[in-house]
């Protein structure tokens, strides 16, 4: 696993060339502010789920360059010796704020903000993007699948389809945060306390002379969790009859059958009928086989009799849209604690950034507890105090919304103070509960899969004015 190694050099090479360049220029002692955000929700959804912060915190706590790292960089014949001395004494000194894991997040709002020495704030870009993009992607997909299951248990079964070991482990972690009941990945249980779950493979059934013998032996060994795979040969003609026979003979404490192929709706309805007729109403039915949120939603609508789902490749790879697209952009530079706003301008409007040192405030209705809107503000602006104020629809600026009777909450919390971690990291169970609670604050119109209502995310008036002042200034300079 990558976490067994010093990860400081897990970076794009240009982060190192820029660090050396800053070191040898007038920007050597400059300070900077960067924002990590994303531009578009995967699968045309209404929101994403923040995940990956725990790994980012561990990375920043252990950020240092070894003599082996310096030896490798020296071999490139590109960097000055004074720069190697700087790396040898490197100590992370940035301030970091982040929206906690489990929270719904929306396009363009700063999820993580880093402020500190320019060289350092720039250097960490690659790793924090990698963890944020991967885990937020999987958490977002998993949450869609969990919501489609309508209260039925969802197990993450994608380890063997994951794109590498870390993708399997951190994918399982992200899926659990988003509401999955457990994972097939054993090391994720050992390292991250995510319940490991599993039944049997077709090879177990095939390795015995008969299906009945295979089921009996498994149930004898695991009477507390006897879930039998019934589609190795024929679900209705042999699988279910043999399972019923074994369950009636051995009477295991917990029993279930799993269907991994075929017409899920038809087979599970027939399975339920046969099990009930045998007096095994308590026997659970589990299904797997290339599931996603749309298939799960459809089979439930069709009347399938399913107690839980095992979801693999389409979850762990986010197959329908496997790139999250988070970015990390400079929003200010300065010295001696004073940050001057910067912004990127592009002919692609979606790539124009928001300048300055910022924060995000979410407004919850005091009447319903539901999230009403988010406001991106300059860091030194006072948070609205309860008086009514107006925001704009991000997709249609002529649409206005008056916020009243609300509770305002600043979303980002401080993680590092001048390089010292000041954040009390929650347990995986606490993060999972946070996700459940915060997703529940969203209206159904935002939660739906097709054509979700766009959640209001607006700029404060001072930030809007600053952005347009810089647009006018930089635009006139390039005429």
* pLDDT of residue 476 exceeding 70: no
Going by C-beta distance under 8 Å and a sequence separation of 6 or more, which residues neighbour residue 417?
A: 95
Q: What is the pLDDT of residue 397?
A: 59
Query: Mean pLDDT, to the nearest integer, of 5-9?
Result: 87
Sequence-distant (6+) residues with CB within 8 A of 85 are none
Three-state DSSP class for 136? Answer: helix
Do 281 and 400 belong together in one domain? no
Same domain? 65 vs 127: yes
Q: How many other CB atoms are found less than 10 A from the CB of residue 447?
A: 18
pTM over 0.75: yes
Residues 344 and 407 occupy one common structural domain: yes
Torsion of CA 340, 469, 354, 356, to 10 degrees: 20
**How far apart are the C-alpha atoms of 380 and 446, rounded to whole Å?**
30
User: Does one domain contain both 351 and 290?
Assistant: no
Is the pLDDT at 479 greater than 60, yes or no? no
Q: Residue 79 and residue 148: Cα distance in Å, rounded? A: 53
**The predicted structure's pLDDT at residue 4:** 54
Question: Which CATH number fits the domain that encloses residue 289?
Answer: 3.20.20.70
Mean pLDDT across 167-172: 97
Q: What is the mean predicted confidence (pLDDT) over 403-431?
A: 97
Which residue do the tokens 């100590």 mark?
Answer: 91
Which percentage of the chain shows pLDDT scores above 70?
96
Q: Is residue 322 included in any domain, yes or no?
A: no
Which pLDDT band, with edges at 50, 70 and 90, does 354 fall under?
A: very high
321 is a domain residue = no
Are 348 and 462 found together in one domain? yes
State whether 299 and 162 are in the same domain. Answer: yes
Residue 419 lies in a domain: yes
- Euclidean distance between CA atoms 154 and 152, whole angstroms: 7
pLDDT at 192: 95
Give yes or no: residues 175 and 264 share one domain.
yes
How far is the C-alpha of 39 from the C-alpha of 42, rounded, in Å?
A: 10
Domain-embedded: residue 244: yes
Predicted confidence at residue 478, as pLDDT, reads 53
Q: What is the pLDDT of residues 448-465, one digit of tens each?
A: 999 999 999 999 999 999
Q: Are residues 471 and 363 in the same domain?
A: yes
- Residue given tokens 């240092």 in the structure block: 64
Instruction: Name the average pLDDT for the chain.
Output: 95
Confidence of residue 91 (pLDDT cuts 50, 70, 90): very high
* In a shared domain, residues 271 and 182: yes
Nearest to 254 by CA among 307, 193, 209, 325: 307
Model pLDDT, residue 112 = 98
334 and 384 in a single domain? The answer is yes
Which pLDDT tens digit goes with each residue over 93-139? 999 999 999 999 999 999 999 999 999 999 999 999 999 999 999 99
CA-to-CA distance for 251 and 13, rounded, in angstroms? 61
Domain that includes residue 177, residue range: 147-316
299 and 164 in one domain? yes
Q: Is residue 449 part of a domain?
A: yes
DSSP 24: T
Asked if residue 412 is part of any domain, the answer here is yes
Any idea what the CATH number is for the domain that residue 394 is in? 3.20.140.10
Q: Which of 269, 286, 316 corresponds to the end of one domain?
A: 316
Tens of pLDDT, residue by residue over 217-273, are: 999 999 999 999 999 999 999 999 999 999 999 999 999 999 999 999 999 999 999
Residue 192 vs residues 316, 382, 466: alpha-carbon distances, Å: 17, 39, 43
DSSP for 337-349 reads TEEEE-----SSG
Domain end residue (candidates: 254, 287, 316)? 316
In this predicted structure, the answer to whether residue 330 has a pLDDT above a threshold of 80 is yes
Asked if residues 216 and 246 have their Cβ atoms less than 8 Å apart, the reply is: yes
On the question of pLDDT at 347 being above 90, the answer is no
What whole-number distance in Å separates Cα of residue 271 and Cα of residue 420?
57
Query: Are 284 and 159 members of one domain?
Result: yes
19 part of a folded domain:
yes
Q: What is the number of domains present in the chain?
A: 2
Token pair of 190, please? 């050992």
pLDDT digits (tens, 9 = 90+) for 136-152: 999 999 999 999 999 99
DSSP class of residue 40 equals S
Using pLDDT thresholds of 50, 70 and 90, give the confidence band for residue 202: very high
Specify if 323 maps to a domain. no
Question: Above 60 in pLDDT, residue 162?
Answer: yes
Task: Tell me which of 316, 338, 360 is where a domain ends.
Answer: 316
């Amino acid at each position: 696993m990558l976490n067994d190694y010093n990860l400081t050099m897990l970076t794009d090479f240009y982060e190192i060339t820029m660090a050396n360049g800053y070191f040898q220029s007038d920007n050597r002692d400059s300070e900077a502010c960067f924002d990590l955000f994303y531009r578009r929700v995967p699968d045309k959804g209404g929101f994403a789920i923040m995940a990956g912060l725990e790994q980012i915190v561990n990375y920043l706590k252990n950020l240092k360059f070894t003599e082996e790292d310096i030896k490798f960089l020296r071999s490139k014949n590109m960097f000055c010796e004074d720069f190697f001395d700087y790396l040898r004494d490197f100590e992370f000194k940035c301030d970091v704020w982040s929206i906690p894991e489990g929270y719904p997040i929306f396009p363009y709002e700063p999820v993580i903000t880093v402020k500190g020495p320019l060289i350092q704030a720039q250097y960490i870009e690659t790793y924090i993007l990698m963890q944020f993009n991967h885990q937020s992607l999987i958490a977002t997909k998993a949450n869609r699948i969990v919501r489609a299951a309508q209260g039925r248990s969802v197990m993450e079964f994608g380890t063997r389809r994951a794109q590498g070991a870390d993708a399997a482990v951190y994918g399982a972690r992200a899926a659990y945060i988003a509401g999955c009941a457990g994972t097939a990945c054993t090391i994720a249980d050992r390292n991250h306390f995510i319940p490991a779950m599993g039944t049997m493979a077709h090879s177990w059934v095939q390795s015995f002379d008969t299906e009945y013998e295979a089921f009996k032996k498994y149930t004898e060994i695991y009477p507390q969790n006897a879930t039998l795979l019934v589609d190795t040969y024929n679900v209705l003609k042999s699988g279910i009859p043999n399972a019923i026979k074994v369950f009636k003979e051995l009477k295991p404490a917990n029993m279930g059958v799993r269907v991994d192929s075929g017409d899920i709706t038809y087979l599970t309805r027939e399975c339920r009928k046969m099990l009930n007729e045998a007096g095994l109403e308590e026997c659970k039915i589990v299904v797997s086989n290339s599931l996603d949120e749309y298939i799960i939603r459809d089979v439930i609508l069709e009347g399938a009799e399913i107690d839980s789902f095992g979801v693999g490749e389409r979850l762990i790879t986010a197959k329908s849209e496997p790139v999250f697209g988070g970015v990390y952009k400079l929003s200010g530079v300065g010295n001696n604690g004073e940050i001057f706003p910067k912004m990127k301008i592009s002919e692609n409007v979606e790539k124009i950034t928001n300048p300055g040192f910022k924060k995000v405030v979410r407004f919850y209705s005091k009447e319903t507890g539901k999230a009403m809107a988010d406001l991106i503000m300059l860091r030194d602006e006072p948070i609205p105090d309860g008086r009514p104020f107006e925001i704009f629809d991000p997709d249609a600026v002529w649409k206005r919304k008056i916020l009243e009777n609300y509770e305002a909450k600043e979303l980002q919390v401080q993680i590092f103070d001048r390089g010292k971690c000041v954040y009390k990291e929650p347990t995986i169970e606490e993060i999972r509960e946070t996700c459940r609670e915060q997703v529940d604050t969203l209206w159904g119109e935002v939660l739906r899969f097709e054509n979700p209502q766009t959640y209001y995310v607006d700029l404060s008036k001072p930030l809007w004015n600053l952005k347009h002042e810089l647009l006018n200034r930089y635009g006139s300079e390039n005429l």
